[in-house]
Amino acid sequence: MIGNRSSCSFVPGECVFLQGDVVKSFYKVTSGRFARVYTDKPVKELGVKHILNESELVGIVSHHELFGEIDALRGQPQTFSVFALDHSSVMSIPANDHEQLKDYIVTDPKIGVRACVSFARYMKRFFEHFAAVAKEEVEIDAFLRMTARDYMAGMNEVANAVRPAINDPDLLRGRSHAAYEVARLVVQQSDAGLSASVNASVSCNVLGHVSRDAKMQNFKAGTLLCKTGTLGDKLFIVVSGAAEVVTEGANPNIRIDQPGSVVGETAVFLNLDQAAPDMRRTYDVICATDVTAIVVHLHQVEEFFTRRPEIMTKMLAAMVERSETTRKLCESSESRLKTMLFEQLGVLLEGMNSMARNLSTRHDKVNLLRPAAFYSQRARAVYNRFKTALEILEAGNKVKA
C-alpha cells in the first residue's frame, strides 16, 4: 500500500488500494500499467490474494493517466481496487490539502486538466441517472393520482352493484384496507394542488475576484447559456447575476449565483478528451437575471486553466461541490420516489389485488364481473409501472467513479 511518499513502485500483482478504502491521495501513472477491478462480493472476506480472481476488469490505466481521483477528491471510499500489471510506478497527489494540490498542479497543470475530465465523465453519467429519476418521479406522481382515482371509482362501482351496500363484506373490506385511506389522501392532495418549489443554490466559485482586463460578455435574463443537445463548445465564469440549471421533476432548478461560478464545464471537459469534439449539453442553463460572464471557448480552455493553476485547483473543488449538491438533490428525488412506490402505490396494488380476488370468487359474481376485471387489469398495470420505477432506481448503483 502507498504511504505518505510522493512516489512509489509496484511489482506485478501488487495492490495499490482496495475497493472500499478511503485514501487521501490520487495517483498519476509514471510507468507501467495498472488494472482497475470491481467485485460485488465483500472485499474484506475475499482478501487481497483472491480479489483478482473474483473481480471484473473495469479498465487499464497507463502512462500519465490518473486513477482514484474522483473518490479521493470527494472523500469517499474507492469504487474499485487497483493492482499493478507490470513493474510500475506512480506519483501520489494529495486530494484533501488544496495548497499541496495546487503546488502539484503548478508543477504539472495537466494533472488538473485530466482530473477535471475524469470528473466530467462521472458527472455526465450521474446527471443522466438524476434526470431519469426526476422524470420518473413526475410520471409516478401522475400515475399514482390516476391509480388512486381508479381505486375509488372501482369502490363506487361495487357499491352501486351490491344491495344493501352498507353491509356488503367485500365493500367493507375494501374500505377498511389501507389502500382506501391512501387513495383518499392522494386524491385530496391532488385536488389541493402542489406547493411551489424554491430553487436550490449551489456555490461553485473558482475566482475570488475578476481582474478588470478580463474579457466579459453580457447576457439578458432569459438567455440560454447552454441548450440541451447542442455542442459543449464553451464554458462560462459568472461575474455577476444568476443562472439556473433547469431540472425535471419535483426538484427545484439549481441556481448558480455566486460570482466566479462556472457554468457548462462538464461537456467542455469531456470534449477536451476527444479528437473530434461531439459531446452535447445534457441540461438547459438559463439566465435567471441579467448575467455578466467570462466566456472561455473550447480551444482556449486548456491554456486558460493551465496558465492559472490556482483557478484549476478551485475548479476541481467546485466540481466536487457541485457533484455533492447534485447527489443530495438526486437522493431527495429518489427518497420521494421510494415513498410514492412503497408507501402509496404498493399499498394501492395490494388493495386492487385483494378486491380483484375477492370479487371474482363471489357467488353473485355475475353482477361484479366488471369491477373485478377492472381491478385485475389496473393491478397488472400498477405492477408493471412499479417494476419499471425500481429498475430506474437500481440503475443508480451502476454509476461508479
Cell of 58: 473495469
pLDDT confidence of residue 165: 72
Separation of alpha carbons 380 and 11, rounded Å: 57
pLDDT tens string for the chain (401 positions)? 444 447 899 999 999 999 999 999 999 999 999 999 999 888 888 877 778 888 999 999 998 899 999 999 999 999 999 999 999 999 999 998 888 888 898 888 889 889 988 988 888 888 889 888 988 998 999 999 999 999 999 999 988 888 777 788 889 999 999 999 999 999 988 776 644 444 444 445 555 545 545 578 999 999 999 999 999 999 998 888 999 988 766 566 788 888 888 888 888 988 987 888 888 998 899 999 999 998 989 988 888 888 877 788 888 888 888 788 888 888 999 999 999 999 999 999 999 999 999 999 887 766 788 999 999 999 999 999 999 999 999 998 888 76
Q: Which residue has the cell 438526486?
A: 330
Separation of alpha carbons 357 and 364, rounded Å: 14
DSSP state of 228: T
Instruction: Print burial letters for 17-48: b (CB count within 10 Å at least 16), e (below 16).
Output: bbbebebebbbbbeebbbbbbbbeeebeebee
Q: Is 396 exposed, middle or buried (0-12, 13-18, 19+ CB in 10 A)?
A: middle
Q: Which residues have C-beta within 8 Å of that of residue 182, sequence separation ≥ 6?
A: 148, 343, 344, 347, 348, 351
Instruction: Tell me how long the chain is.
Output: 401
Instruction: Give how far Cα 313 sits from Cα of 69, 82, 242, 320, 326, Å.
Output: 13, 25, 23, 11, 20
pLDDT confidence of residue 197: 46
Residue ranges covered by each domain of the chain: 7-96, 122-195+330-398, 200-311
pLDDT confidence of residue 207: 56
Amino acid symbol at 234: K
**Contact by Cβ (8 Å): 27, 7:** no
pLDDT confidence of residue 167: 82
Angle at 102 between CA 97 and CA 106, to 5 degrees: 155
Number of Cβ within a 10 Å radius of residue 205:
19
In words, the CATH class of domain 7-96 is: mainly beta
Domain 200-311 has CATH 3.60.9.10: no
